[in-house]
Structure 1
């Protein structure tokens, strides 16, 4: 039995069909079907009930899937321990990249990692949607703090922080006036941000731990759209300094409440805790942590969808819990 056929079996289980697994792995459907058939013949068991395009595990297949997860994890752990840091790796690394501050910094790190491992194929998926990492065969994801509530059974590794403040254009302030206090924000039109789990964040933590309710007539899940909207004078926006620095410097945007300290928002490297992590993923995680992550910041674990990080540590708080 080939290790790659065992891994292929896991991809079929996780995607739910031969066709979806073939699409993810960029293989012909006939190849995936043939390799699955060979695996079943070698094991002399039926792994799936086949119903049209959908496939469900047989009792034997489910048992084999659960037990072989440990086998794959142990094999990968052994390979990781036996190979030195300079050993060349190959295979496929699939990365989800939220539209987050520091995206170009992350892309530079990805390019450097690829240069160290020229046989490795890398796929970057840029989306603000919280994907099912197992189903979509994503190895690691870079996520912003508001999105971690939608994650379950994930390891979160902090990689950098960003300063978050309210900003407005001079045109908007000329028409609507400069808010003198944080409480006056409630009387202004604020461009709202929604993460992919459906939540609109209408209460924001400012500075150390001061909460401000916000409302507005426009909502998006894209930071670039938020920035464009505030530049056009559509309202006030709560944005990271990396997005606004150039506009503040040329006078297109004004930072509000300069006497209030900026809130420190977190960006994380996330990967599932209940699935074996490939050798390429382990090396990539180590590379990112060594090159980008702050020192002395503990790793976090999300074990439930009801995260404990809502509140002081999260700059965006939703009223509808």
Structure 2
């Protein structure tokens, strides 16, 4: 019985379909079907109830899935311990990145990791849409807080982003500029929707105060939010460095400068119900080490890692 065939079985379980599993794994459906049949023959049990478009686990299949999940996790951990951190690692990583201002910085980190591990292949998926990480065979994701279910994910905090309120001169010309944050509910705000479907329309401030915003436009992409703000569609909350160029050229104005910024938290997350591959673990360690290096040398993560290879030199 091949461990790889057991891993393929897990992908079929998690997608619920041979066709979807084959597409994600980039394998012919016939190959996947044949290897599943081989596994069932070796086990002498039926693992799935096969229907026209979906596949559901039998009682035996469900038991096998639960038991082998722990087994695969133990195997990966053992391989990591035996090979050591200096050995070459191979495999394929599917990495989801929410379209945040640090997208390019994260991408450069991934490229750096690939250069140091030439046997690794990577697929980068940039999306603001909800993604089922297990079903879509996504190994790792960079997500905003509140954009994922903490009960189903392991989350490693990586950095914070300071967010302020902004409006364009065009918007300010057409309405009375709000003087205090208490006036915000009387203005049109550009709302933001997280990948999990939640709309960010309640903003916490100091002393436990929560401000409810309303507006006629909701977006799920930072670039769209910035463009809508520049065109005077309303007041928005945007990361400071993301809006800095527009502030410098007079196209945006920061509101409520006396109020402390709201800080968004970004996390590196991965499914808690799936074993973590050796390649994933190595990348997690690589990313956390990079962050520690930047903090130690007081380097902004807005800089490319390639520009900061030799800090303080």
TM-based fold match above 0.5: yes
Q: For 1:162-311, what aligned pairs fall within 5 Å after superposition?
A: 162-206=161-205, 209-292=208-291
What TM-score results when the alignment is normalised by the length of structure 2?
0.89
CA contact (8 A) 1:165 1:206 kept: no
Equivalents in 2 of 1:198, 1:159: separation in Å? 23
Residue 146 of structure 1, CA deviation: 3.2
CA RMSD of aligned residues (A): 1.8
CA contact (8 A) 2:48 2:58 kept: yes
Residue 9 of structure 1, CA deviation: 0.8
Deviations 1:259-303, CA, capped at 9 Å, x for gaps: 1121221100111122111111101111111112697xxxxxxxx
CA contact (8 A) 2:130 2:197 kept: no
Equivalents in 1 of 2:267, 2:207: separation in Å? 20
Unmatched tracts of structure 1, length 5 or more: 296-321
Count, aligned residues: 295
CA contact (8 A) 2:97 2:124 kept: yes
| Residue aligned with 1:49, SS | strand
Equivalents in 1 of 2:257, 2:94: separation in Å? 40
Partner residue in 1 for 2:303: none
Equivalents in 2 of 1:5, 1:57: separation in Å? 16
What TM-score results when the alignment is normalised by the length of structure 1?
0.87
Partner residue in 2 for 1:12: 12
Residue 70 of structure 1, CA deviation: 1.3
174 and 133 in structure 1: CA distance in 2 versus 1, 3 angstrom threshold: same
2:157 maps to 1:158: yes
Partner residue in 1 for 2:93: 93
Residue 206 of structure 1, CA deviation: 3.7
Residue 250 of structure 1, CA deviation: 1.7
CA contact (8 A) 1:230 1:236 kept: yes
Which 10-residue stretch deviates more, 87-96 or 194-203? 194-203
| Residue aligned with 2:146, SS | helix
Equivalents in 2 of 1:209, 1:110: separation in Å? 38
List structure 1 runs of 4+ shifted beyond 6 angstroms: none
